[in-house]
Amino acid sequence: MPSLSSRLARLRHIVFDMDGTIYLGSRLFEPTLPLLALLRRLDVGYSFVTNNCSRSRAEYIDHLRRLGIAAPPDAVVVSTHAATHYLRRHAPHARRLFTLNSPGADDDLRLAGFEIVQESPDAVVVGWDRTLTYDRLCRTAWFIKRGLPYVATHPDRVCPTDEATVLPDCGAICALLETATGRRPDAVAGKPSPTMLQEVLDRHALAADDVAMIGDRLYTDVRMARDAGVLAVLTLTGEASADEAMSLPAPERPELIVRDLHDLAQQLRAARQ
């Protein structure tokens, strides 16, 4: 196994989780822009990944731009794109999709070359439909029950919120559909599925050794990185603590823990000297 420093020295691409890693809510972390500038100087590419498919890729690019981050369109990978990655490999005939999705996610599916249809679909995609209606739930259950390929975008049961409400997310909607149809999704594409990182690797023609994934959650970001064989980096600016990370069995632990993105920048510089 190459040393950590030699792995950092040969990195060609870093994949960032967003909330808790590069910003918290609407507050950009101070070391984010300097790290991205360093990566551009070192000719290291970067992508941003998120399970939250209630926004489209274009909406995320806008959001990042408002925070001062210039990101080319293909630098953002939403769980919707991981779902298309799965469909291309496992249901290559599927062009016509019935979806339970927010409008932005349907936009991304269309841009990826799929058609959104109401009748005679080839496959079903369930995301986080914030415009959910009973009628569409019934139609979705019907197509699932008929045995069509069925992909969920991500496993999250709720979306965290500080408001006085609960936001049932894709995982909760799939649980309802499982109760109604007896079927679970054939695949759940977003984090922690390595499908999400495979989408990034394929898009930029990268090998797992060329890539690091950095995030603030152990059971999504770090787990996905370990399963995909990319360097797993935990940042302590969000959910998980170093103690929690070290209490995991060795194969599930992050391979590098950084205090924040400034710490990562320092380690990258040191490894390349």
CB of 215 to Mg ion, least distance (A): 5
Residue 132 carries which DSSP code? -
Kindly state the smallest distance separating residue 50's Cβ from Mg ion, in Å.
8
- Minimum CB separation of residue 17 from Mg ion in Å reads 4
- Alpha-carbon span 28 to 243, nearest angstrom: 25
Whichever of 25 and 72 has its CB closer to Mg ion, that residue is 25
- Smallest distance, Mg ion to C-beta of residue 25, A: 11
Nearest to 207 by CA among 11, 22, 55: 11
Long-range contacts, 66-72 (Cβ 8 Å, 24+): 67/23, 67/26, 67/28, 68/28, 68/33, 69/22, 69/28, 69/32, 69/33, 69/36
Angle at 159 between CA 158 and CA 165, to 5 degrees: 85
Q: Which is nearer to Mg ion, 21 or 140 (CB)?
A: 21
Strands 23-24 and 27-28: what pairing? Answer: antiparallel
Q: Residue numbers of the site for Mg ion (CB under 5 A)?
A: 17, 19-20, 216
CB of 241 vs Mg ion, minimal distance in Å:
14
Question: Of 123 and 170, which has the nearer Cβ to Mg ion?
Answer: 170
**Cβ 208 vs Cβ 230: under 8 Å:** yes
Considering beta carbons, is residue 2 or 160 the nearer one to Mg ion?
160
CB 238, min distance to Mg ion, A: 5
Instruction: Give the three-state DSSP class for 10.
Output: coil
List the beta strands (DSSP E) in 82-172: 96-100, 115-116, 123-126, 150-152, 158-159, 167-168
Rounded-to-integer distance, Cα 125 and Cα 116, Å: 10
Shortest gap between Cβ of 271 and Mg ion (angstroms)?
Answer: 24
> Which lies closer to Mg ion via its Cβ, residue 49 or residue 94?
49
Q: Which residues have CB under 8 Å from 200's CB, separation 6+?
A: 13, 15, 47, 49, 77, 206, 211
Nearer to Mg ion, 122 or 156 (CB): 156
Q: Please, which residue, 108 or 216, has the CB nearer to Mg ion?
A: 216
Q: Is the dihedral of CA 154, 156, 161, 163 positive or negative?
A: positive
Residue number of the CB closest to Mg ion reads 20
